[in-house]
Chain A
Amino acid sequence: MDTGNLALQYLLSGITKGSIYAVVAIGFNLIYSATGILNFAQGEFVMLGGMVAVTLLHFAPLSVAVTGAVVIVALGGCLLEILLFRRLRNHSVLHLIIITIGLSIVIQETALHVWDEKVRSLPYFTGNEVSSLQIFGAAISPQVVWVLGTVAVAVVLLHVFLQYTLQGRAMRACSSNPEAAMLAGINIRNMRTLSFGLSAALGALAGCVISPITMTHYEMGAPLAIKGFAAAILGGLGNPMAAVVGGLLVGVIEAVSVSQLPAAYNDVAAFAVLLLMLFVRPNGLFGRPGGEMVREL
């Protein structure tokens, strides 16, 4: 294989991984916009999606199992907001963020005890481990097409939802000015619940499509949350579409560095680039510096 094809191969693997980071980053953004919380349990939604789908697969065909997993995890996300975050009205955002870290630990450990420490995976949606497609000389698994296709459709649907539907516009209104949104008759609390549900659903969907490639493991959530957070920051917080660019960038840098550096250093390049970028553009690639209000509290 010549260098051009090799580069393409790495690029494709980077984009595949990056698309998952992008989904996690979008989840971060949705919840951040609606509530100001950075949800570090975002990676656990991905893990839960895969786990629940694998379990449902014992009773139902693949498509039903995946749909079921997405619905169940989404409901779980909504419940989390209704039962926990809705009740913590007097807490600072930092406290709520720490609570999501606690949640991430608890969900992970619960998954360990409900399932076990074994690595599981869904079957390939089409084809199997050895089938491959040729694209411009690079060989990719059909599952990669599934991942990229699903993520692309989800992102487009989300964009349409946020831009052109009443609910989506209400959600954006909440993030730009909660008080004004409330005066306009938007139920902010329900919008927050919706943002948790949407994030969880997206995460679970990503967890299902990626499961045949990277496998599902109870510990996979935390590293994904960190990468997703990096992607969200790289793009600039509060902008779900910038998160897609951020996610793909992190994925591609990672894939390139894996090909160039010893395996033990595989995250170093991605985070070094991120640090440098932050020092040059402190508000992310597409973020604008926000003005700060000084007023009596």
Chain B
Amino acid sequence: MKPALKQFLPFVLVAAVAVGAQVALRLLEMEYCLTQLTMALYYAIVVLGLSLVMGYAGQVSLGHGAFFAIGGYTSAVLTTHDFSPFNATAWAQGLKQAHVFVSREDLYGHAVVSVSPWAAFVLAMLLTFLIAHLIGYPALRLKGQYLAMATLGFGLIVYRMVLGSTVTGAADGINGVPEWRLGFGLTVSGKSALRVENYYVACGLVLFWLVLLGNLVHSRVGRALQAIHDRETAANAMGINTASYKLKAFVLSALMAAMAGVFFTHYTAGIGPSEAGALKSIRYVALAAAGGMANLWGVLVVSTGLNYLSLRGLFGSYDHAVFGVILIAIISLAPEGPLKPLGLWIRKLAGRAFKSPAERRPEHGTA
């Protein structure tokens, strides 16, 4: 196989699976399932970001739910808050000229002036960038369990702030977030007519990050991160600026989580404080671990699959229990993610079927 082709094959495969899933669901007249699948894909972006931090940079963050919430809440607050009392002021007029402020009708048909989704998105990203640096700079000097605690504490503080302040709607969260016209005729919105379109928007976003991360981890940066993961002191001795690399990986994954949060908020037209909860953050870490951490494909499959099952509520009141059992089963039986053993197994079967010794690869001792 040509190297270029081989490099692109997984991405083509993912695209094919995505399209295949949609077509199959349409044929089965189960397109309503796409809603949960779209949400699961957004969550998967958070977990993919964590896989960069955990699997490649070797750091654990129990605060990514908070970044998801920071993204989601920033855009929810800005796009729903009514700025019309400031209409007459010069800065409000200026922002309107710059298309940062837009006039629209809210759920009850009142004319309101609020920040446009694109501007809110940019602001959310900037805020996340800032906060991720503020928390990441001191926190990443901590080792292992201490870092886990620091990020967990950060997440809990964000959760309590969101729960406690009236700006973020306290325990009710924020509803009535408007749709987001992305341009190119695409709109992020929860309307059932746009269900298929939004599914592909989510797929596109996931694919974008997969390509980016896939390239990143095979670059100089990726190898540096891998070295930090294996032995930080040794990496340092080799001249890798470990602190800077760790911080960059952390900030990038925080931005991914926040971006997923913004899309998710526009898609579900709202966000609640539970998104920032410690359990959400812990869940992301667990999913990244179950997917094999340094294995983007495994992480994608496991997190989308498990989140989808949870969101559809297939197991009813046993949902959490089943999630826990699956988690324990995957990690105890296949610590490197379920895809690796599966791939080896398929390769073995294929090798046996075609009897081509050239294609057969030496098997490493993975169970």
Contacts and interface: CB of A to CB of B under 8 A. Distances in A.
Interface in A105-133: 105-106, 108-110, 112-113
Interface string A93-110: 011001101111110111
**B54, B278, B318, B335 — most chain A CB neighbours (10 Å):** B335
B149 A109 contact: no
Contacts of B331: 91, 95, 98-99, 102
Interface residues of A, number: 47
Interface in B129-154: 138-139, 141-143, 145-146, 148-150, 152-154
A216 B134 CA distance: 38
Residue with the greatest number of chain A CB neighbours at <10 A, chosen from B142, B152, B331: B331
B347 to A, nearest CB: 22
A95 B146 contact: no
A112 B321 CA distance: 10
Nearest to B323: A105
Contacts of A183: none
A266 B318 CA distance: 31
Interface in A192-244: 222, 226, 229-230, 233, 237
Interface stretch (B89-97, B160-168, B186-194): B160-168
A63 B62 CA distance: 40
A275 B160 CA distance: 15
Given A102-B328, A264-B170, A275 B335 contact: no
A272 interface: yes
B324 interface: yes
Nearest to A106: B324
A170 B148 CA distance: 29
Interface in B311-353: 317-318, 320-321, 323-325, 327-328, 331-332, 335
A106 B170 CA distance: 30
B33 to A, nearest CB: 25
Contacts of B26: none
Nearest to A262: B164
Which of the listed residues A102, A262, A265, A282 has the most CB atoms from chain B within 10 Å of its own CB? A102
Interface of A is mostly: helix
Given A222-B279, A226-B152, A271-B156, A98 B145 contact: no
A106 B331 CA distance: 15
Contacts, number: 128
B36 to A, nearest CB: 20
Contact of A283 (B146, B320, B323): B146
Contacts of B149: 229-230, 233, 274, 278
A145 interface: no
Nearest to A292: B233
Contact of B161 (A99, A222, A265): A265
B39 interface: no
A112 to B, nearest CB: 8
Contacts of B320: 105, 108-109
Contacts of B325: 102, 106
A233 to B, nearest CB: 4
Interface string A11-33: 00000000000000000000010
Nearest to B288: A98
Contact of B160 (A94, A101, A266): A266
B289 A98 contact: yes
A237 B170 CA distance: 35
Contacts of A272: 153, 157
B145 A101 contact: no
A282 B142 CA distance: 6
A105 B321 contact: yes
Classify chain B: how many residues form its interface, as a range.
Answer: 35 or more
A267 B146 CA distance: 18
A278 B150 contact: yes
Query: Which one of B163, B164, B233, B237 has the highest number of Cβ atoms from chain A below 10 Å of its Cβ?
Result: B164
B156 A226 contact: yes
A3 interface: no
A88, A268, A283 — most chain B CB neighbours (10 Å): A268
Contacts of A177: none
A163 B332 CA distance: 35
A134 interface: no
Interface in A82-96: 84, 87-88, 90-92, 94-95
Contact of B146 (A92, A108, A282): A282
Nearest to A266: B160
Contacts of B148: 38
B17 interface: no
A90 B335 contact: yes
Nearest to A28: B145
B234 interface: yes
B60 interface: yes
A263 B170 CA distance: 12
A267 to B, nearest CB: 5
B305 to A, nearest CB: 16
Contacts of A226: 152, 156, 278
Contact of A267 (B138, B160, B327): B160
Contact of A278 (B54, B142, B335): B142
A10 B138 CA distance: 32
A104 B324 CA distance: 8
Interface of B: 54, 60, 138-139, 141-143, 145-146, 148-150, 152-154, 156-157, 160-161, 163-164, 170, 231-234, 237, 278-279, 282, 285-286, 289-290, 317-318, 320-321, 323-325, 327-328, 331-332, 335
Given A105-B324, A222-B279, A237-B145, 17 more contacts: A40-B282, A84-B328, A98-B286, A99-B328, A101-B327, A103-B324, A108-B320, A109-B318, A233-B149, A264-B160, A265-B160, A267-B157, A272-B157, A274-B153, A275-B154, A278-B139, A278-B142
7 contacts: A87-B332, A267-B160, A272-B153, A274-B150, A279-B141, A283-B146, A292-B232
4 closest residue pairs by CB, A with B: A264-B164, A105-B324, A109-B321, A106-B324
